[in-house]
Amino acid sequence: MDAPLQDCTIEEQRGIVRFLWAEGVKPVEIHCHMLAQYGQSTMSQQKVYKRVERFKSGRTHVTDEGRSGRPSTSRSQNASSPQEYRN
């Protein structure tokens, strides 16, 4: 572990979870390995457990499935009232 990985995608982390789970590594150990490499960018331990459960139930891909409905949106912290969006 010479150089921690600073940049990573969620798909990359999910792939690592899938690989290590297939190797028989426990979820808590998977999270520890990832934390050592990705630091603050690591997915939470709860997400590792959820991802392992999905792989156990037969899921094989690491990308998100399409969803119906409106996409989620966010507002900046500077936007304090809905009136700011009317202009």
Domains assigned to the chain: 10-56 (1.10.10)
Residue type, 28: V
Sequential pLDDT tens for the chain (87 residues): 456 677 788 899 999 999 999 999 999 999 999 999 988 889 999 999 999 999 998 888 788 776 676 766 666 555 555 555 444
pLDDT of residue 23: 96
Element (H, E) at 18: helix 10-22
Q: Could you count the other beta carbons within 10 Å of the beta carbon of residue 2?
A: 3
- Do residues 38 and 5 make contact, with C-beta atoms less than 8 angstroms apart? yes
